[in-house]
Amino acid sequence: MTSLLDSKQLRNRSFVVLAAFLASMLAGCSTMEGAGEDIEDAGEEVSEAAEDASN
């Protein structure tokens, strides 16, 4: 009986760790996507400024 209880606790703990890991990975992806968009916007601003300076 004790080993069955330990097995359920281990399974529950493993599930919680896996869920936390997946949540952090999803949060990281959206953060990286946002950073990529910010870098792209900054590059466009630099390009526009360079075009304005050359005219």
Residue 3 pLDDT class (50, 70, 90 cuts):
low
For residue 5, pLDDT over 60 is answered with no
pTM over 0.85: no
Which whole-number Å values give the CA distances from 22 to 5, 12, 15, 16, 27, in the listed order?
A: 26, 15, 10, 10, 9
Residue 12 pLDDT class (50, 70, 90 cuts):
confident
Dist. CA 31–CA 25, nearest whole Å: 10
Give me the mean pLDDT over the 28-37 stretch. Answer: 77
Give me the mean pLDDT over the 20-37 stretch. Answer: 80
55 in helix, strand or coil?
coil
Dist. CA 18–CA 12, nearest whole Å: 10
